[in-house]
Amino acid sequence: MDKSSPRQVEIVKYLKSLRDTICKRFEGMEQSGERFQREDWLYAKGSGGGEMSVLRAKTFEKAAVNWSGISGDQFPMKDGQGAFFASGVSLITHMSNPKAPTVHFNIRYIETEESCWFGGGYDLTPMGFEFEEDTKHFHAVAKATLDCHGAELYPKFSQQAKEYFFIKHYNKERGVGGIFFDHFHSGDFEKDFSMWKSVGDSFLDTILPIYEKRIDLPFSEEDRKLQLARRAHYVEFNLLYDRGTKFGFESGGNPKAILCSMPPLAAW
């Protein structure tokens, strides 16, 4: 496999630009003036690596916006796939204000000797304080984005999010949903690439209006305790069920980067 094909170069360029845009917009919302701290890592089992961007501050108690681009001789999640290339951006926020929800976003591209596909999505997780207008806004942006690429996509991806972001031991969804897709490959690469980029480009539109309304709301110590308890559920999902976490570890990725999704504090 050509590890630096024009297609791969274009995808990495897009992902890094998106990462930079998101970091800049989050920094513009951060009230302390703090900035993301970046740290590079190298992929030990092949070539490439990634870059962690982590913000620990006043508005964003913790935000991580990570990029990775790796290749190796054996795809880790399925026998017989041979050499692979994988690149993506993964993002998580844990807000200081309990009334501002956690948001997760990820888009990725994977290429093996046998096939290539896109994956990703975004989902919203209130930390004990669900506002119906926020949920409606989040889903409305997702639907409008996907409707431009096919009326069937939003219902399908929304249902897949309900099924994927489900905490089995509590028998409930992790949050209020969003969109999720994996192994997406219609046979028309350019069409799929366009849809994938639209998901990436729409992410900030889903969450920034919500944060603008919630980050300055008053909250109590009891609100904070509820937030920390809900964060515990988030930890449990990521460690027990999340396929991205499993892929990261099984592919020999950087543990620090893989576990950037963990909240700074949680309570059981």
Alpha-carbon span 145 to 135, nearest angstrom: 16
Alpha-carbon span 101 to 147, nearest angstrom: 25
Beta strand ranges found along the chain (DSSP E): 37-42, 47-55, 60-72, 84-95, 102-112, 116-125, 166-167, 172-173, 178-184
Task: Give, as one character, the DSSP assignment of residue 261.
Answer: G
Known catalytic membership, residue 183: no
Choosing from 104, 137, 139, 233, which is the catalytic residue? Answer: 104
Task: Give, as one character, the DSSP assignment of residue 58.
Answer: S
Q: What is the dihedral of CA 179, 223, 235, 111, to 10 degrees?
A: 30
Query: What are 69's strand-pairing partners?
Result: 49, 87
- Between the alpha carbon of residue 207 and those of residues 102, 104, 259, the distances in Å are 10, 10, 22
Q: What is the dihedral of CA 204, 20, 264, 93, to 10 degrees?
A: 10
Which residues are the active-site residues? Answer: 104
